Amino acid sequence: MNLKKLTLYSSVFALQGLSNAVIPILPELAGGDSGDFVISSLIFSGYFIGAFLALVPLGVLADRIGNLKVIRFGMLLTTLAGFVITFSDIPLILGIFRFLEGVGCGAFFPAAFSIIAEWDDSQQSLGEFNFLLNAGLAAGVFFSGMFAGFGIKTAIASFTFLAGLSCLFLLSKVGELLSPNRYGKEFTHSGYKIHANSQQDTSLLSELKSYLVKSRKTMFQTNFGKIWGISVLLYGATGLLNSNYADYSASFLTKPELGLAISVSYLAAMLSSLIAGRADINSKNIVRTGIILAAAGIFLSVKLPLLAFFLIGAGGGAAVVGLITAVSSISSSGFVMGLFNTGIYAGLGLGPVLGSLFLGPLGYETLFFVSAVALLSVFFVKLT
């Protein structure tokens, strides 16, 4: 593996590991056994809110000033947030810096995807990148529980240290290998161009407004809107299951068994990302294969949880590689990559919330079934 890949891959592993390291210890972060459930939820959700709000504007900024600068900012902010979370026990401070950690995530991913989309082996690299992304998520949850006996925040401190090392690589000459050009790519579509380093308008706010106006054409005149909708549906359906499965399975799964099932989903996503990245299959068929696997997993979750989570992870990992590959064929700009990622976070945020409105009248099993059927509706969407 060359240095530029090692630098980017180690960064995504550390970033994702740190983001998930809080999950097993949320009650303690919220104040121990007497911690407020609302506080715990805010600490958890702060990350996703920060990422959702930051993805598009920082994607535009990546096009304006260069991908490498924005990636450096994202990892520096992530490291700072991890440091504060490690040493602070004040819930409000934890919530604020979880939000800032999410902003760091929102800075990192559009620029990272934009860089990878320009590599000659972009599909294979996307598979490898997604493999390390899921490996970080799995490692964060696993080691947070394993190391809790040595100190409740041991895993957070460990991943903060790794993020700091990645920052040093990014700030060195090694980091410059990632993006040798100063500025991001042009956002080109349907005969118009928006230059990231335009001299005509130096206002970032005005440029963001211009991007948003022009992006409506991309959303409705290309496949991008369909791709974005599929990502919302995929992550909404799987997020709905993940957010409710602990309560649903309480009568037949122990906590270690539940933890094992969740870990299997990440491992499956890692493997399927590598396979999808190297497969000689077009992005449309990769997405559809992933959707079938994920929907089958949701159907089976009421009877065979271990197999179900394996299929969900495998399907999600493959589908994401196909979706990002499809987006990169439209545009590899940081703005478009950021806009795509908002679909992921919109699904993760809205799926569980909207699903909870129907949980009372439908019950868990019917709700899971409906979400799987909704996911299969993707087959009625024509992707060219």
Looking at residue 204, what is its pLDDT? 58
- Structural domains for the chain: 1-179 (1.20.1250.20), 212-384 (1.20.1250.20)
CA-based nearest residue to 384, from 299, 278, 287: 287
Helix, strand, coil abundance in the chain, percent, nearest 5:
80, 0, 15
- d(C-alpha 95, C-alpha 71), whole Å: 23
Q: Which helix (H) or strand (E) holds 192?
A: strand 192-194
Residue pair 188/89 in contact by the 8 Å Cβ criterion = no
Q: Could you write out the DSSP letters of every residue in 294-322?
A: HHHHHHHTTT-HHHHHHHHHHHHHHHHHH
Looking at residue 115, what is its pLDDT? 87
Instruction: Please give the C-alpha separations between residue 182 and each of 66, 121, 197, 308, 354, in angstroms, as whole numbers.
Output: 5, 22, 10, 45, 42
- d(C-alpha 263, C-alpha 246), whole Å: 14
- d(C-alpha 96, C-alpha 378), whole Å: 37
Looking at residue 221, what is its pLDDT? 63
Which residues, 6 or more positions from 237, have their beta carbon under 8 angstroms from its beta carbon? 294, 295, 298, 347, 351, 371, 372, 374, 375
Instruction: Please give the C-alpha separations between residue 344 and each of 81, 289, 300, 308, in angstroms, as whole numbers.
Output: 22, 18, 23, 21
> Is this structure's pTM higher than 0.75?
no
- d(C-alpha 186, C-alpha 165), whole Å: 31
Residue pair 108/149 in contact by the 8 Å Cβ criterion = no
Looking at residue 164, what is its pLDDT? 95
Looking at residue 222, what is its pLDDT? 72
Please report, as a single letter, which amino acid is at residue 46: G
Question: φ and ψ at 189, to 5 degrees?
Answer: -165, 135
Question: φ and ψ at 187, to 5 degrees?
Answer: -90, 100
70, two tokens: 């924005």
Length of the chain: 384
Instruction: Please give the C-alpha separations between residue 2 and each of 5, 174, 178, 345, in angstroms, as whole numbers.
Output: 6, 10, 11, 31
Looking at residue 35, what is its pLDDT? 46
Residue pair 17/145 in contact by the 8 Å Cβ criterion = no
C-beta atoms surrounding 358 within 10 Å:
14
Question: φ and ψ at 252, to 5 degrees?
Answer: -135, 0
Looking at residue 119, what is its pLDDT? 81
Q: pLDDT truncated to tens, each residue of the chain (384 aa)? A: 577 788 899 999 999 999 888 877 776 787 754 445 567 667 777 888 888 888 888 888 888 888 889 999 999 999 999 999 999 988 889 989 999 999 999 999 988 988 888 887 777 888 888 889 888 988 887 888 778 778 889 999 999 999 999 999 888 876 666 765 544 454 444 333 444 444 444 565 676 677 667 666 667 667 788 888 999 999 889 888 876 776 787 788 775 677 677 778 888 988 898 888 788 788 888 999 999 999 999 999 988 989 999 999 999 999 998 998 888 887 767 777 777 888 888 887 777 778 877 878 888 899 999 999 999 988 887 765
Q: Which helix (H) or strand (E) holds 119?
A: none
Residue pair 332/117 in contact by the 8 Å Cβ criterion = yes
Q: Measure CA 204 to chain center.
A: 25
